A and B are shown apart, each in its own frame.
Chain A
Amino acid sequence: MEADTSRLYRIMYLIRRFEETVLDNFPKGVFSGTTHTYLGQEANAAGVLDHIREADIVVSNHRCHGHFLAYGGQPHPLFAELMGKASGVCGGRGGSQHLHWRNFFSNGVLGGTVPLATGMAVAEKHKGSRSVVIAFLGDGTLGEGVVYESLNIASLWQAPILYVVENNHIAQTTPSEMALAGNIAARFNAFDIPVVELDTSNVLEVWSAAGAQVEAVRSASTPHALLLHTCRFGPHSKGDDTRPAEETAEMRRSRDPLTLHTARLDQFTRHSLEQDVDLEIARAFKQALADPFPALTP
């Protein structure tokens, strides 16, 4: 199967524009609470979630906007959720980190979603469905003990789940060298969970590897892992990036998934896609801004 290069670009550009709009507008006070943007990691969500089927399940974490949009979620209810509006994904109850739509779930406490996703896969296996679960976690989450309880159970019970580790080398402000001993792939190997490891921001490479792993999970009904070394361009949430500016500038020069993909599209197609997305984002943002706030029912 060939990748649809325009579709992948469109999703990555949608995520990029969404997150930039969030960060640009946060200081204006239109969003409440906090946010964790996916800038720089767009190739992962786009490349992995291009392979899911309607009945598959996606479990995400605090940095979930990119996963949500690549899953097929719309920007308007996501903007609205971040603004705490009634039209939000969860009616404003959850906010940025707590999304549920169709078979997409995210939660803001690290680690706890991993047994949850594993249990969903166990359920699908027992029900005899062919659905698989995709669980996204980051390098920071590897510090949580319940992750290893989950990997153990997933391997013992052969749960049809793909663990996607996005290692952006930094947990909030702590570099992974200060928080992560040993190596990540070995963690999965210890539980006999096959792992494929990539260090790339090239969406086609992610797409190919993810496609093979999703297919392996589905056909064998067993757990697999995809380890993606990646780059977080922006702050952990907002204004809390302690890395030297030249470090993130270098990432943006050499590891921007959009730039890397640009050459694969003819200029006309790309401009047209970008215009469409710019308009979609602008409309969604404006509409969410105008939407009413929810009220608690007595």
Chain B
Amino acid sequence: MPSVLESLNTGLLNAFADSKDIYLLGEDVLDPYGGAFKVTQGLSTAYQERVLTTPVSEAGITGVAAGMALRGLRPVVEIMFGDFITLIADQVINHIAKFRWMYNDQVRVPLVIRTPMGGRRGYGPTHSQTLEKLFLGIPGLVVLAPTHLGDPGRLLYDAILNCDDPVLFVENKLLYLLPAQGAGTSGEFDTKSWTGSPAAQPDLATFAPVYTINLLDAPAPTLTICAYGYMAEMARQAVLTLAYEHEIFCELIVPTMLAPFEAQPLVESVQRTGNLLVVEEGTLSFGWGAEIIAVCSEAPELRLSSARRLAARETPVPASSALEASTLPDQYSIVNSCLEIVHNG
């Protein structure tokens, strides 16, 4: 089983092999270094002309890549740390995401912005954040979050080659070393994959799966957990603990497309369980989880008995590992939140 890092690297290499229109722009992406997190390792050796190492100019290179996309190329930008996406906000919000609609559907901007996100590595307040919530709900922008389920490299490949709209591709750093699980049965889990166009944007290619995960041979679940990225693995661990230590059975829903969000598999799950816990590594207020619960609340076919959010504390992410561990949600806090739902409603 390849690691998520190897899978993403393969996805990039395959995209470069399959189209000469693919370019990659980023800081420190050339071999032998191959990028700060090594996702681009080997790329510049194989495709020297199309891997462009850049100055430390996140806004500039994102704008340059958008210009390249408007002229028929399919560039990929690497932003070294997800924390730095604040620097590209104007490019993404006021330019890239707007062009297609603002120019009356006369142009497309096939551009992928990849970035490693998240904490638990002790990098401190400006290199550990989970900031994608700032980029959710921007018309015209697709936000994808691979996980170790399924084939993350294939998701990246499809985002690069099979999506004509701009994509923010958020890679949680702790996923990199996990083995990519594939779909189907693995270990004690049964993983079903669902793909469909989001109702909000029916022309969007259907390549970003939603995974529905259950313990093999378990009784009917009474609680739905929704999580993405690395939190999906934390939630899987919690599902095991809840089953074996508390006899509480949960169904885990893992979307890989955060925006636009297609709620169908989640709504169907909550129809079965009636209870929902939404988990994210970003801060709690005004976040992804709040939106997910709102979507479920508005689904006419749903009767939601109980819904809760679990997220990071509302402070910057501390550098100290002891402080960081109690700031970010993990499998233990997921278990506790589920117990509260079951016992207190």
Interface residues of A (CB under 8 A from B): 57, 90-91, 93-94, 98, 100, 105, 107, 109, 111-124, 126-127, 145-146, 149-150, 152-153, 156-157
Please, how many angstroms separate the alpha-carbon atoms of A122 and B71 in the complex?
9
CB distance from B7 to the nearest CB of A (A): 28
Please, how many angstroms separate the alpha-carbon atoms of A109 and B64 in the complex?
16
Query: When A and B form their complex, which 4 residue pairs have the shortest distance between CB atoms, in order from nearest?
Result: A119-B67, A115-B63, A149-B60, A119-B64
* Given A107-B94, A123-B71, A150:B63 Cβ within 8 A: yes
Q: Is B90 an interface residue (CB 8 A)?
A: yes
- Which of B55, B72, B94 is the one whose CB lies under 8 Å from A109? B94
* Given A146-B60, A150-B60, A152-B55, A116:B104 Cβ within 8 A: no
Given contacts A91-B104, A146-B60, A150-B64, 12 further A-B contacts (CB under 8 A): A90-B104, A98-B102, A98-B103, A112-B91, A113-B95, A115-B61, A119-B69, A121-B67, A123-B67, A126-B68, A146-B57, A153-B55
> What residues on B are CB-neighbors of A91 within 8 Å?
104
* Given A94-B103, A109-B90, A116-B63, A122:B57 Cβ within 8 A: no
Q: Are A152 and B106 in contact (CB under 8 A)?
A: no
> What residues on B are CB-neighbors of A152 within 8 Å?
55, 57, 60
> What residues on A are CB-neighbors of B63 within 8 Å?
112, 114-116, 118-119, 146, 150
15 contacts between A and B (CB under 8 A): A57-B71, A100-B99, A107-B94, A115-B62, A115-B64, A115-B66, A118-B60, A119-B65, A119-B68, A120-B71, A127-B71, A127-B73, A150-B64, A153-B57, A153-B61
> What residues on B are CB-neighbors of A115 within 8 Å?
59-64, 66-67, 91
Q: Are A122 and B67 in contact (CB under 8 A)?
A: yes
> What residues on A are CB-neighbors of B54 within 8 Å?
153
Q: Is B332 an interface residue (CB 8 A)?
A: no
Q: Are A120 and B67 in contact (CB under 8 A)?
A: yes
Q: Is B174 an interface residue (CB 8 A)?
A: no
Interface residues of B (CB under 8 A from A): 23, 49, 52, 54-55, 57, 59-73, 90-91, 94-95, 99, 101-104, 106-107
Please, how many angstroms separate the alpha-carbon atoms of A292 and B66 in the complex?
33
Interface of B, helix, strand, loop or mixed by DSSP: helix
> What residues on A are CB-neighbors of B57 within 8 Å?
146, 149, 152-153
Q: Are A123 and B73 in contact (CB under 8 A)?
A: yes
Please, how many angstroms separate the alpha-carbon atoms of A121 and B70 in the complex?
11
Q: Are A117 and B67 in contact (CB under 8 A)?
A: yes
Q: How many A-B residue pairs have CB under 8 A?
A: 114
The listed residue with most B CB atoms (<10 A of its CB), out of A98, A105, A115, A124, is: A115
> What residues on A are CB-neighbors of B49 within 8 Å?
126
Q: Are A120 and B103 in contact (CB under 8 A)?
A: no
Interface of A, helix, strand, loop or mixed by DSSP: helix
Q: Are B64 and A122 in contact (CB under 8 A)?
A: yes
Q: Are B104 and A94 in contact (CB under 8 A)?
A: yes
Please, how many angstroms separate the alpha-carbon atoms of A93 and B99 in the complex?
11
Q: Are A127 and B72 in contact (CB under 8 A)?
A: yes
Q: Are B106 and A90 in contact (CB under 8 A)?
A: yes
> What residues on A are CB-neighbors of B65 within 8 Å?
119
> What residues on A are CB-neighbors of B73 within 8 Å?
123, 126-127
Q: Are B90 and A116 in contact (CB under 8 A)?
A: no
> What residues on A are CB-neighbors of B95 within 8 Å?
107, 109, 112-113, 116
Q: Are B70 and A116 in contact (CB under 8 A)?
A: yes
> What residues on B are CB-neighbors of A57 within 8 Å?
71
> What residues on A are CB-neighbors of B61 within 8 Å?
115, 149, 153
Q: Are B55 and A122 in contact (CB under 8 A)?
A: no
CB-CB nearest in chain B for A147: B60
Please, how many angstroms separate the alpha-carbon atoms of A120 and B69 in the complex?
8
Please, how many angstroms separate the alpha-carbon atoms of A39 and B257 in the complex?
48
> What residues on B are CB-neighbors of A149 within 8 Å?
55, 57, 59-61
The listed residue with most A CB atoms (<10 A of its CB), out of B65, B71, B95, is: B71
CB distance from B319 to the nearest CB of A (A): 28
> What residues on B are CB-neighbors of A111 within 8 Å?
90
CB distance from A18 to the nearest CB of B (A): 21
CB-CB nearest in chain A for B70: A120
> What residues on B are CB-neighbors of A100 within 8 Å?
99, 102-104, 106-107
The listed residue with most B CB atoms (<10 A of its CB), out of A121, A149, A150, is: A149
CB distance from B84 to the nearest CB of A (A): 13
The listed residue with most B CB atoms (<10 A of its CB), out of A119, A120, A126, A157, is: A119
* Given A90-B102, A98-B102, A109-B95, A120:B60 Cβ within 8 A: no
> What residues on A are CB-neighbors of B107 within 8 Å?
100
CB-CB nearest in chain A for B71: A123
Q: Are A119 and B102 in contact (CB under 8 A)?
A: no
